[in-house]
Each structure stands twice: as structure tokens, then as C-alpha cells.
């Protein structure tokens, strides 16, 4: 794929540009106003993944159920947002470090790599930046996050600055993520659980009905797999217990 040059006037950026890196090591640069979801087909994260002993950031690769493959993250906070996106049935695509943005803001040329781009089932596109809440009070950081938001929203996409979620919710999602991969719980058991569970069941009641002659705990994985997939919903702000109220969403 050819590498095109950004539009400039006497060395200065004429319009905001987006650069996307691909799995064949090529880079495509397009005016941001022309950026489309198709430009992310076969794309890879802008920065190469690094893991160095003693590094300050906690980075890694998360095996995403949504993407059926790895998605990179560079901090525990990014991993938390990634887990929430992976569990959200409204999200059908996740791209980490999707592109490199360059724009003239005032008298400066600014550059930025968003943390995530989420493709929603509704067709909406959401660009997400993850930053701890205590750093958002820094004027420089606030400015660095503001101009990409203006650019993204003018493009008709959504913009989100994410700083965390309820601790119990995150703990529940991390636990439920153990059931995200196909085959962890046999599909036949999941479907049998779906046929058995009734809207408004408490988790403990649904387990006992599904277990029949087996120990109750043997029925729980299939029910939790349904919660992960979104076919069953519950109040994740409450710690996991047999009192979880299950709702059928499909």
C-alpha cells in the first residue's frame, strides 16, 4: 500500500490528518474528514507493543471475545475499559491505538494516538481515551484530550474520556471474563441453561433447577456464560452471589 504525504502549505498542515498502520507494515495517511471504518480493515495498533522489565506502565495483550483475537493495552486502566467493551453486546469491534492524528491547533501542530476505537452495533463509532481522574485536572492534559474530542465530534463520531468505573462492577466483569471464550462452557450446556432460566430468577434458584441431580455449583458456569454474552443481565454493582436477579434480554 502506498504511503501518501499529508497535505501541507509551506510545511504547515493544511487540514487534520489521520495515519493508519497496517499488518503489511505500510502506513496510509488520509485527511481526517475522509476517514472511514473501511480504513481500519487489516489495521494494527499505531505503536509497537513493548514489554520491558521495570517499565512504569502495565501493558499486555488481552484475548478479546469480540475480536476473536488479541487487543493491546498499555495500563491496567486501559485493560479495565477494554474488558467493559468486550462484554458490552452493543460493541461489535475494538481497535486499540487505531490511528495517529495530526492537526494544527492554534499556532501549534498537535499529535495524538487515541487509546481505543469502538464500533457499535448501532453503526456509531466511538473514540475512547483513558486517563486517571486525578490527571484530568492538569491543564496540559485537559488540553491534549480536548482537541481530539472536538475533531472526532465534528466528524460525526462519539468521543469518550474514561477514568474508571465502580470497583464491584469491574471485579464482576473480570470474573465473568473467564467465560468469554467459545468452548470454555460447552455450547449445549449454555443452550440448556438458556431454556431453563426464567426471567426474574435468582442465580441460586436457576442453578438448582438446572443442576437437577448434580451439585448446584456445576450449573453455574453456563449461567455466567449467558451473563457475559448479554443474553442474561443482572445488577453488576452487587457482589456475585446466589441472590443475583437474572433478566432475559433476548
Enter the pTM of the model: 0.90
Identify the CA nearest to 185 among candidates 225, 214, 149. Answer: 225
Least confident segment among 44-58, 88-102, 140-154: 44-58
Contacts of 146 (CB under 8 A, 6+ apart): none
- Integer Rg of the chain from CA: 21
C-alpha cell at 79: 485493560
Q: Residue 10: is its pLDDT beyond 50? A: no
Contacts of 106 (CB under 8 A, 6+ apart): none
What tens digit of pLDDT does each residue of 230-245 get? 999 999 999 999 999 9
Please check whether residue 162 is in contact with residue 129, taking contact to mean a CB–CB distance below 8 angstroms.
yes
The mean of the pLDDT values for the chain is 92
Higher pLDDT pick, 22 / 216 = 22
What CATH code would you report for 8-162? 3.40.1350.10
* CATH code 3.40.1350.10 region(s) in the chain: 8-162
197: three-class secondary structure by DSSP: coil
Name the band, by pLDDT with cuts 50, 70 and 90, for residue 9. Answer: very low
pLDDT of residue 51: 58
Amino acid at each position: 500500500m502506498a504511503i501518501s504525504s499529508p497535505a501541507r502549505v509551506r510545511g504547515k498542515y493544511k487540514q487534520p490528518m489521520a495515519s493508519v498502520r497496517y499488518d503489511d507494515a505500510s502506513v496510509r495517511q488520509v485527511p481526517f474528514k475522509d476517514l472511514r471504518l473501511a480504513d481500519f480493515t487489516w489495521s494494527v495498533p499505531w505503536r509497537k507493543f513493548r514489554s520491558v522489565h521495570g517499565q512504569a506502565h502495565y501493558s499486555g495483550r488481552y484475548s478479546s471475545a469480540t475480536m476473536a483475537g488479541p487487543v493491546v493495552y498499555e495500563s491496567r486502566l486501559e485493560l479495565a475499559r477494554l474488558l467493559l467493551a468486550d462484554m458490552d453486546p452493543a460493541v461489535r469491534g475494538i481497535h486499540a491505538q487505531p490511528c495517529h492524528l495530526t492537526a494544527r491547533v492554534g499556532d501549534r501542530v498537535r499529535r495524538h494516538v487515541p487509546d481505543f476505537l469502538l464500533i457499535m452495533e448501532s453503526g456509531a463509532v466511538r473514540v475512547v481515551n483513558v486517563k486517571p481522574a486525578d490527571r484530568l485536572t492538569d491543564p496540559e492534559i485537559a488540553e491534549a484530550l480536548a482537541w481530539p474530542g472536538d475533531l472526532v465530534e465534528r466528524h460525526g463520531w462519539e468521543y469518550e474520556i474514561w477514568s474508571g468505573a465502580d470497583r464491584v462492577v469491574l471485579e464482576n466483569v473480570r470474573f465473568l471474563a473467564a467465560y468469554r471464550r467459545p468452548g470454555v462452557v460447552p455450547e449445549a450446556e449454555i443452550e440448556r441453561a438458556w431454556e431453563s432460566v426464567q426471567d426474574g430468577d435468582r442465580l441460586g434458584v436457576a442453578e438448582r433447577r438446572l443442576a437437577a441431580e448434580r451439585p448446584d455449583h456445576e450449573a453455574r458456569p453456563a449461567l455466567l456464560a449467558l451473563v457475559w454474552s448479554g443474553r442474561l443481565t443482572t445488577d453488576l454493582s452487587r457482589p456475585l452471589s446466589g441472590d443475583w436477579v437474572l433478566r432475559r434480554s433476548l
